[in-house]
C-alpha cells in the first residue's frame, strides 16, 4: 500500500495522486481508515464504497499550503459548527482551516439513486441565526473564514418564512448574510411586493437555480435597502432630463420546447450609489445603465406577464 506524507500524517493511497504544478498534493482517494485533525475535530475521510448512494470513492482535496479543502466522511458525523451541532457527510474548509461548508448528505446521484431518494434521507434541522430560528432541510450550511454564518442552501421544495428589511417573506432555495449577521439576500418563494429605490416591484425569479444559497435574486445592502431585485410582474418607466421616457421590462421569449408557447426572462435591477443597472436574467449583460441622480422611475405592472405562465416550461419527450 502506497502512503503519502502530509501535515495530517501518512495517508494510504488508492489510485493516482493529483498534484499542483509545484508538486504539492491536490487530491487523492484513500485506501484505508485514517483520522485527520481539523478545526471541527478528528474526522475520518471516506475510504470505502458501501451502497447504491455511495458508489464512487470521492477524493480528499487540499489547498497548495497542505490544508485540507474538501473532506468526504466515511460515516455521518455530528460536527460542532459556529451555529451548533450539525450532521455531516461532507465538509469543506477555507485555506485558513476554518470550516467553509457543511453538507448533511453527500450521496452520489445516478440512475440508481435520484435527488428524490437523497432528499428522503434529509432531516429537518433548526438553526439559530441573526434573523431568528430557521428550521428546514438544508443541502448545505456555509460559513465565512472568520466563522460567521454566510449562507443556507435549502432542498428544492423547501420553504421558510424569514424576517427581512421589507417584512416577513417566504423564501426558497437559499438565503445569505452580510458580515455581522444582517440579511444579504434571499430567493422569494412567490411574487412579493417589495419597496425599492425605484418604487414597489413584485420580486420573483422563476428561473432561479438553487445550486447554493450564496447569491439570490432579492438582495439588500447593509442599511436594509434593496440593492438587487428580479421581477417578471413589474416594469419601470425611467425619465431623465431632456430625454424621452425609457421602458425597462422583462423579456418574453419563445419557449425552448419550440411548441409556440412563450416564457418570461426576468428583469433584474441592480441599484448602486450612482446608477440603476438593468439586465435580462441573472447572468445577462446589462442592456441599460441609467444615472439615478435627477432621474425619476415609475413602477407599473408588466401586463404581458399575465398571459404567460410564471413557471419555467418543462418540455415533454
Band (pLDDT 50/70/90 cuts) for residue 113 is confident
Residue 254, pLDDT score = 75
* Burial letters 139-149, b for 16+ CB under 10 A, else e: bbbbbbeeebb
Query: What sections of the chain are H helices per DSSP?
Result: 115-119
pLDDT confidence band for 257 (50 / 70 / 90): low
C-alpha cell at 184: 444579504
Q: Is residue 179 part of a domain?
A: yes
Lowest mean pLDDT among 76-80, 165-169, 188-192, 241-245: 241-245
Q: What's the rounded Cα separation, in Å, for the pair 147 and 86?
A: 15
Q: Band of the pLDDT at 132, cuts 50, 70, 90?
A: very high
Same structural domain, 158 and 262: yes
Q: Assess whether pLDDT exceeds 50 at residue 205.
A: yes
What is residue 212's predicted lDDT score, i.e. its pLDDT?
80
State residue 312's pLDDT score: 52
133 and 102 within one domain:
no
Rounded to whole angstroms, how far apart are CA atoms 145 and 71?
Answer: 17
Separate counts of helices (H) and strands (E) for the chain? 1, 28
For residue 48, being part of any structural domain is answered with: yes
Task: Among 93, 118, 143, give the residue marking a domain's end.
Answer: 118
Number of domains in the chain: 2
The set of cell numbers assigned to 93 is 474548509
pLDDT at 282: 85
155 plus 68 within the same structural domain: no
pLDDT of residue 47: 92
> Is the pLDDT confidence value at 305 over 60?
no
Question: Of the candidates 91, 118, 145, which is a domain's last residue?
Answer: 118
Domain match, 218 and 195 both: yes
Residue 123, pLDDT score: 94
Average pLDDT over residues 37-48: 95
pLDDT band at residue 283 using 50, 70 and 90 as cut-offs: confident
Q: Are residues 107 and 148 in the same domain?
A: no
Q: Answer with the one of 84, 118, 152 that is the final residue of a domain.
A: 118
Answer yes or no: do 142 and 283 share one domain: yes
Question: Residue 299: inside a domain, yes or no?
Answer: yes
Domain that holds residue 107: 3-118
Q: 93: Cβ–Cβ under 8 A, 6 or more apart, which residues?
A: 38, 39, 67, 68, 69, 70, 71, 99, 100
Together in a domain, 114 and 209: no
Same domain? 229 vs 277: yes
Considering the domain boundaries, does residue 89 fall inside one?
A: yes
pLDDT at 101 over 70: yes
Q: Is the pLDDT of residue 49 over 80?
A: yes
**Is residue 317 scored above 70 in pLDDT?**
no
Q: How far is CA 222 from CA 152, 182, 218, 268, in A?
A: 18, 7, 14, 20
Contacts of 45-53 with C-beta under 8 Å, sequence gap 24+, read 45/71, 45/72, 45/73, 45/74, 46/72, 46/73, 46/74, 47/12, 47/14, 47/74, 48/74, 52/110, 52/112, 52/113, 53/107, 53/108, 53/113, 53/117, 53/118
| pLDDT beyond 80 at 52 | no
Residue 200 has pLDDT above 70, yes or no: yes
- Return the higher-pLDDT residue of 49 and 306: 49
Q: Tell me what pLDDT residue 314 has.
A: 56
pLDDT above 60 for 309: no
Q: What is the pLDDT of residue 219?
A: 97
My answer on whether 133 and 228 are in the same domain is yes
Single out the residue of 54, 50, 58, 52 nearest to residue 18, CA to CA.
58
Residue 152 burial (C-beta neighbours within 10 Å; 0-12, 13-18, 19+) = buried
In the chain, % of residues over pLDDT 70? 93
Q: Are residues 36 and 85 in the same domain?
A: yes
> What average pLDDT does the chain have?
91
> Same domain, yes or no, for 298 and 186?
yes
Domain assignment present for residue 83? The answer is yes
Task: Give me 191's grid cell.
Answer: 411574487
Q: What is d(CA 16, CA 295) in angstroms, rounded to the nearest whole number?
A: 61
Q: What cell was used for 311?
A: 413557471
Q: End-to-end CA distance of the chain, in Å?
A: 49
Let me know if residue 178 belongs to a domain: yes
Question: Is residue 313 in a domain?
Answer: no
Same domain membership, residue 164 and residue 100: no
Residue 312 lies in a domain: no
Q: Is the pLDDT assigned to residue 175 strictly greater than 80?
A: yes
Amino acid at each position: 500500500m502506497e502512503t503519502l506524507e502530509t501535515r495530517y500524517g501518512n495517508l494510504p493511497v488508492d489510485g493516482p495522486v493529483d498534484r499542483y504544478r509545484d508538486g504539492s498534493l491536490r487530491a487523492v482517494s484513500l485506501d484505508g481508515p485514517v483520522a485527520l485533525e481539523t478545526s471541527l475535530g478528528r474526522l475520518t475521510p471516506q475510504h470505502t464504497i458501501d451502497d447504491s448512494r455511495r458508489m464512487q470513492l470521492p477524493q480528499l482535496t487540499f489547498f497548495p499550503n497542505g490544508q485540507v479543502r474538501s473532506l468526504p466522511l466515511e460515516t455521518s458525523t455530528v460536527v460542532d459548527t459556529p451555529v451548533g451541532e450539525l450532521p455531516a457527510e461532507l465538509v469543506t474548509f477555507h485555506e485558513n482551516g476554518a470550516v467553509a461548508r457543511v453538507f448533511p448528505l453527500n450521496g452520489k446521484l445516478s440512475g440508481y439513486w435520484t435527488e428524490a431518494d437523497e432528499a428522503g434521507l434529509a432531516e429537518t434541522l433548526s438553526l439559530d441565526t441573526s434573523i431568528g430560528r430557521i428550521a428546514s432541510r438544508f443541502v448545505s450550511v456555509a460559513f465565512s473564514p472568520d466563522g460567521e454564518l454566510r449562507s443556507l442552501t435549502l432542498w428544492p421544495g423547501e420553504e421558510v418564512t424569514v424576517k427581512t428589511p421589507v417584512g416577513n417573506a417566504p423564501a426558497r432555495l437559499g438565503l445569505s448574510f452580510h458580515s455581522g449577521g444582517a440579511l444579504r439576500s434571499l430567493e422569494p418563494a412567490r411574487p412579493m411586493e417589495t419597496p425599492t429605490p425605484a418604487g414597489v416591484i413584485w420580486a420573483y425569479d422563476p428561473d432561479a437555480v438553487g445550486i447554493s444559497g450564496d447569491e439570490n435574486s432579492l438582495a439588500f445592502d447593509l442599511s436594509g435597502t434593496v440593492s438587487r431585485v428580479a421581477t417578471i410582474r413589474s416594469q419601470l418607466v425611467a425619465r431623465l432630463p431632456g430625454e424621452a421616457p425609457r421602458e425597462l421590462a422583462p423579456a418574453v421569449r419563445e419557449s425552448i420546447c419550440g411548441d409556440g408557447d412563450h416564457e418570461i426572462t426576468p428583469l433584474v435591477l441592480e441599484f448602486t450609489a450612482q446608477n440603476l443597472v438593468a439586465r435580462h436574467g441573472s447572468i445577462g449583460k446589462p442592456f441599460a445603465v441609467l444615472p439615478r441622480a435627477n432621474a425619476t422611475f415609475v413602477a407599473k405592472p408588466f401586463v404581458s406577464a399575465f398571459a404567460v405562465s410564471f413557471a419555467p416550461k418543462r418540455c415533454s419527450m
